[in-house]
Amino acid sequence: MNILIPHSWLKDYVKTDLTGRELAKKLSLHALNVEKTTEIKGDEIWEIEVTANRGDCLSVLGVARELTAVFEPKDLKLQIEKISAPKISSDKDNLAVEIREKSLVPRFSAIVLDEVKIKESPSFMRERLEKVGIRPLNNIVDITNYLMIDKGQPMHAFDFEKIKGAKMILRESRDGEKITTLDNAQRVLPQGVIVIEDGAGRLIDLCGIMGAKNSEIDEKTRKVLLFVQVYDPIRIRKASMTLGHRTEAALRFEKGIDFEGVLPALWEATALAQKYAGAKISSRLIDIVNEKQKTKEIEINYQKINSVAGLEIEKAKVDQILKKLGFEIKGKKARVPSWRINDIEIAEDLAEEAVRILGYHNIPSELPQGEIPRRKMDEVFFWEDKIKDFLRYAGFFECYNYSATVAENASPNSLALVNFLTEKMTHLRTSLLPQLVEVLDKNQSFGEKIKIFELSNAFLPQENDLPYQPLMLGLAAKGEDYLNFKGILEALILELGIKPSEINLEIQKDSQGYLKLEINFEELVKKASRAKKYAPFSQFNSIKEDLTLAVPPGADYQAIEKTILASSVLIKKLEFKGLFKNFLTLSIEYLDPRRQISSEDSQKIRKDIFDKLEKELGVKLKE
């Protein structure tokens, strides 16, 4: 995501004589990409791209830390004013807090302020908020937004007297519960969203996303609950995406919040409220720690760092870079700073930090040495290309349909989408055929004959797991002769190097006369072979004849074909000729490549065929 950072705001932390352009250029080379700069009221505003893993950089302080790391101390120094905890002399306003499940809220911190005067916030705060795209509202709300941008710590302010029973219950929402948020939108909640309920059973906060209208700060507010917390990032992300409500707070909570920044942010908000709203602390500090932030120590593999960089970096230089980034070096281990706990995991992460601060542009460019490795093409991709070409040459048009489909096309076990893109695309498809039929319907005027195919994934539900997503091949045709359609499919099977007798092709014909077939392409590829067998033309003649067989009800053609072909190695070819009632006519060709086959030979083979068919399948020669 991109954030806006005013150069004037950065100067609160960064002491340097360098220009904004010089700072932005070096920051882009080593850390965060400054995509563009604009000027507002003489102030340079940076638009910075922050990658998903760097939630710690979604603040002015986070960007200032990165600047400190990429510059030498003589050029730039980081200055952070430490906010001490205030003295608390009153506890007349107490809040009862109940957290139903500890994992929902790893840390909950709050304090009540009294004698608050709601008015316009100071001009410097209003101007800074406007420069980063946030509309100023009043001094208390502006303080919470200001510190979210300044420190990266989202916080919320409630009108304490609107919290019924002075009680907060933090829990998961029940399916179908409703809440009206500060933007006046009524939201219907799914199961599992983190919410706050007051003593009267009302929902007063959509946690980590937006507060409720019924507890907002207004011009009559006199008591304020300042509320700073750490939520389960996965639940916040899921709730925000499900509700389609992406806020600045949610974007930060879902990436993980620095535990050690919670109380300093609360004390700074308190100090600002005292200064600009005349507030007085009227409660004890509430600080519930359900999960302690674990410390991480990662071994520094200097050899690996040099291997990744492609050049020798001195141990002292690596240690210096890591220290500038906030790591504590203890022997051969680096302790990860609290604001990078969610980002740094393994030795390779340390290598990346060292190399980027050193500068990718400083790594020497060298052509790779040795033989270029030969990579074998994935079999599925190979056959995808092969079969797509084959079908195009056979007159088929390729289709690209959506993975989601309308409810009418969904099968009973289709997976319903929670955050569907349109009101119609509500389910994941389990088959390609319904959409192919829709394509035929919409192209009726294209021609008398239309042949189409799609090679794509279906989504088949699995219990307690993600759906099985096989690659399927779907074909559909309008105005096509059945035998022609079947012949193309058999030729396609042969193109894969598979005998048609090994595959069961179930061609469907619907009420509109459309021919359809769908087959698991991944399973098909497992049987495919690129190997080709070539044999010289025989100098001897073959014997051809037609056989008409009496087939009992329920007999399987593939079983008949397999039995006949297994009767003798001298059977060169077997073809289907026709079917009338229960009589099946086949064309059979005999050939011995070593000698001229005789009628006596063919009679013996024929007898073996009839004996096997009758014994194994109950199939007899027509009398």
pLDDT of residue 307: 87
Per-residue model confidence (pLDDT) at position 246: 93
- Section 43-48 average pLDDT: 96
What tens digit of pLDDT does each residue of 207-261 get?
999 999 999 999 999 999 999 999 999 999 999 999 999 999 999 999 999 999 9
* pLDDT tens readout for residues 476-502: 999 999 989 999 999 999 999 988 778
pLDDT given for residue 229 in this prediction? 94
Cα 195 to chain centroid distance, Å, stands at 25
Structure tokens belonging to residue 52: 């998903």
The 10s digit of each residue's pLDDT in 283-303 is 999 999 999 888 899 999 999
Render pLDDT for 381-402 as a digit per residue (tens, 0 to 9): 999 999 999 999 999 999 999 9
* Residue whose token pair is 């005027």: 445
Q: Among residues of the chain, what percentage have pLDDT more than 70?
A: 100
Give CA–CA dist 576/112, Å, rounded.
Answer: 88
515-520, strands of its sheet edge to edge: 397-398, 450-457, 471-478, 515-520, 508-509
Selection from 125-129, 258-262, 497-501, 541-545 with the highest mean pLDDT: 125-129
Whole-number pLDDT of residue 453: 97
Cβ burial of 417 (10 Å; 0-12, 13-18, 19+) is: middle
pLDDT in the model for residue 44: 95
Residue bearing tokens 């519930």: 288
Is 90 exceeded by the pLDDT of residue 7? yes
* Residue 532 predicted with pLDDT over 80: no
Mean pLDDT for the chain? 92
368: pLDDT strictly greater than 80: no
pLDDT beyond 80 at 84 = yes
Q: Is the pLDDT of residue 367 over 90?
A: no
Per-residue confidence (pLDDT) for residue 82, from 0 to 100: 85
pLDDT of residue 515: 96
Q: Which pLDDT score, from 0 to 100, does residue 503 have?
A: 85
Q: Which of 46-60, 432-446, 547-561 comes out lowest in average pLDDT?
A: 547-561
Write the pLDDT tens digit of every residue in 410-433. Answer: 888 889 888 777 878 899 999 999
Q: What percent of the chain has pLDDT over 90?
A: 75
- Name residues whose C-beta falls within 8 Å of residue 5's C-beta, 6 or more positions apart in sequence: 45, 46, 48, 60, 63, 132
Average pLDDT on 370-377 reads 79
Q: What is the DSSP letter of 432?
A: S
- 41: exposed, middle or buried (C-beta count within 10 Å: 0-12, 13-18, 19+)? exposed
- The full set of domains in the chain, from first to last, is 2-78 (3.30.56.10), 96-289 (3.50.40.10), 297-361 (3.30.56.10), 379-527 (3.30.930.10), 543-621 (3.30.70.380)
pLDDT at residue 39 greater than cutoff 90: yes
Predicted pLDDT of residue 5: 96
Question: Taking residues 94-112, what's their average pLDDT?
Answer: 95
Block residue for tokens 């026709």: 578
Q: Average pLDDT in the 364-374 region?
A: 81
Give the model's confidence band at 444: pLDDT under 50 very low, under 70 low, under 90 confident, else very high: confident
Cα–Cα dist 207/253, whole Å: 10
SS3 per-residue string spanning 44-106: EEEEEECCCCCHHHCCHHHHHHHHHHHCCCCCCEECCCCCCCCCCCCCCCCCEEEECCHHHCC
pLDDT at residue 360, as a whole number:
87
Spatial contact of 61 and 148, defined as CB atoms under 8 Å apart? no
Q: Which residues of 429-464 are buried (b: 16+ CB within 10 A; e: fewer)?
A: bbbbbbbbbbbbeeeeeeeeebbbbbbbbbbbeeee
Quote the pTM value: 0.70
More confident residue, 158 or 424: 158
Report the pLDDT value the prediction gives residue 295, as an integer from 0 to 100.
87
pLDDT of residue 156: 95
What are the structure tokens assigned to 166, written together? 């002075």
Nearest to 206 by CA among 137, 260, 158, 136: 158
Which of 174, 166, 196 has its CA nearest to residue 105?
196
